[in-house]
């Protein structure tokens, strides 16, 4: 694949990958997320993501929402703990339409008071919908347990009492502090000459004044294991077990990804799925996940089980963790684990929208492009010993935290 890079005079970076598909994907990834909020701003990064679609100096809300829809395109957005992304999918000939819209909603949004008032109710409804889904809420509550009073422990959606107080001044202050042009990447996968893409980016983004705001993120260094049990009116018991993990900059990150994939990744043959669901039928849903951040990370195991099976389920989880800490993988086991992960990576990159988002985030965080070949090379360098050392560092029972939603009938 052919990759192209360019940086505008104001610091906005561009990354593009050629594609022969009739459909293009383009977005802008911004180095601003929920961990950049101050205490009284919890939920503001996500709230801004909603509001940028509500009106600009040049377009009313219905014009924004119709701009890509009218040509069969799609525009979407997300907010994470460390970044915000607005992206679109469209036929290749509409690149100019896409970039025009992205520049307008990011840099010309007016944040009208009427929209702010209305969107508060929408976001609070979104928060309440999560409370009706214990399998999702317990993950957010576990983040709070793990990171305690640190910004990484905050729910991305925020809390109603904060959202009700948000004003236009709060929004503009957060925007001015965090939306730096040096912390923005335009990412594209499509069938367009790169010179034409750069020309369009210069046309719509090139006149934006340089904004060189500094990142003031508070590093997380105060982890203490904790155990918490809450009674909930749920049909099932829900449990999350986990620990802090490696940052996106740590050389052990790839080994941690492989270890997580082996233990409880998406494959039906993961150790947790085979041991707890297929062998005993204790869980309908059991999975593990690893999320690296810029300075730390988080590893979790989630399980939902019928009342009465929880203690045995937890015991079996610890047994699987213990095996990975005590026994090195045989050469055949390691080869299969690597092949599985490389195959999953290839399928991930076969989606052009995944490719676009991944390219943008890698340039934003590392100022580098990681191709599928790069990833496979890193996977191949993993040894059984490095996996066991990683397991002993992350899976040590004395370092693990646990949150339980105990069903109450």
Mean pLDDT of all residues in 199-209:
96
CA distances from 219 to 72, 246, 295, 330 (A): 43, 13, 7, 38
Q: pLDDT class for 409, splitting at 50, 70, 90?
A: low
Within 8 A by CB and 6+ apart from 218, the residues are 150, 151
Reported as half-sphere exposure (CB side, CA atoms, 13 A), residue 389 has a value of 9
pLDDT in tens, 67-114: 999 999 999 999 999 999 999 999 999 999 999 999 999 999 999 999
Q: For residue range 330-341, list pLDDT tens digits in order.
A: 999 999 999 999
What is the CATH architecture assignment of 227-407? 2-Layer Sandwich (3.30)
User: Residue 282 has what pLDDT?
Assistant: 85
8 A C-beta contact, residue 85 and residue 360:
yes
pLDDT value of residue 208 = 95
pLDDT at 306: 83
pLDDT digits (tens, 9 = 90+) for 361-382: 999 999 999 999 999 999 999 9
pLDDT tens across 123-135, in order? Answer: 999 998 888 888 8
What does the pLDDT read at residue 232? Answer: 85
| Residues contacting 141, CB < 8 A, separation 6+ | 230, 403
Residue 214 has pLDDT above 80, yes or no: no
Mean pLDDT of 43-56: 95
CATH 3.90.950.10 assigned to domain 3-205? The reply is no
Q: How high is the pLDDT of residue 408?
A: 75
Amino acid 235: pLDDT: 83
How far, in Å, are 187, 233, 381 from residue 375 at the CA level? 19, 44, 10
Separation CA 92–CA 95 (nearest Å): 6
Give the pLDDT score at 323. Answer: 96
- pLDDT at residue 213 above 90? no
pLDDT score for 338: 97
pTM assigned to the model: 0.93
pLDDT in tens, 291-336: 999 999 999 999 999 878 899 999 999 999 999 999 999 999 999 9
Burial 293-310 (b: 16+ CB within 10 A, else e): bbbbbbbbbbbbbeeebb
| Residue 145 pLDDT greater than 90, yes or no | yes
What is the pLDDT averaged over residues 205-213?
90
HSE of 47 in the Cβ direction (CA atoms, 13 Å)?
33
Residues of the chain within CATH 3.30.830.10 domain(s) are 3-205, 227-407
Confidence (pLDDT) at 374: 94
């Amino acid at each position: 694949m052919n990759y192209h890079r360019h940086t505008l005079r104001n610091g906005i970076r561009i990354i593009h990958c050629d594609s022969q598909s009739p459909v293009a994907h383009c977005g802008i990834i911004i180095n601003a997320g929920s961990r950049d909020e101050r205490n009284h701003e919890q939920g503001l990064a996500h709230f801004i993501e909603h509001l940028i679609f509500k009106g600009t100096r040049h377009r009313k809300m219905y014009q924004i929402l119709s701009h890509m829809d009218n040509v069969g395109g799609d525009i979407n957005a997300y907010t994470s703990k460390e970044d915000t992304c607005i992206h679109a999918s469209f036929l290749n000939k509409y690149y100019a339409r896409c970039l025009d819209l992205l520049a307008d909603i990011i840099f010309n949004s007016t944040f009208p008071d009427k929209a702010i008032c209305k969107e508060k109710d929408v976001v609070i409804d979104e928060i309440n919908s999560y409370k009706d889904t214990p399998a999702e809420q317990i993950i957010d509550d576990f983040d709070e347990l793990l990171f305690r009073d640190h910004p990484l422990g905050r729910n991305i959606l925020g809390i109603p009492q904060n959202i009700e107080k948000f004003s236009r001044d709060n929004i503009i202050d957060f925007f001015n502090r965090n939306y730096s042009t040096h912390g923005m990447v335009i990412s594209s996968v499509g069938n367009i000459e790169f010179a034409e893409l750069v020309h369009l980016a210069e046309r719509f983004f090139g006149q934006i004044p340089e904004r060189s705001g500094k990142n003031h993120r508070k590093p997380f260094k105060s982890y203490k294991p904790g155990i918490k049990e809450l009674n909930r009116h749920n049909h099932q018991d829900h449990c999350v077990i986990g620990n802090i993990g490696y940052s996106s900059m740590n050389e052990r990150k790839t080994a941690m990804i492989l270890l997580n994939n082996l233990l409880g990744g998406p494959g039906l043959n993961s150790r947790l799925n085979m041991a707890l669901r297929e062998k005993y039928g204790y869980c309908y849903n059991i999975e593990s996940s690893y999320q690296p951040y810029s300075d730390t990370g988080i590893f979790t195991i989630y399980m939902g089980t019928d009342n009465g099976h929880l203690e045995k389920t937890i015991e079996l989880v610890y047994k699987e963790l213990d095996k990975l800490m005590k026994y090195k993988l045989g050469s055949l086991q390691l080869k299969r684990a690597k092949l599985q992960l490389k195959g999953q990576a290839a399928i991930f990159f076969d989606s052009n929208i995944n490719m676009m988002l991944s390219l943008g985030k890698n340039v934003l965080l590392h100022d580098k492009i990681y191709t599928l070949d790069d990833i496979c090379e890193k996977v191949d360098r993993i040894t059984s010993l490095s996996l066991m050392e990683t397991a002993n560092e992350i899976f040590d029972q004395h370092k693990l935290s646990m949150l339980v939603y105990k069903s109450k009938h």
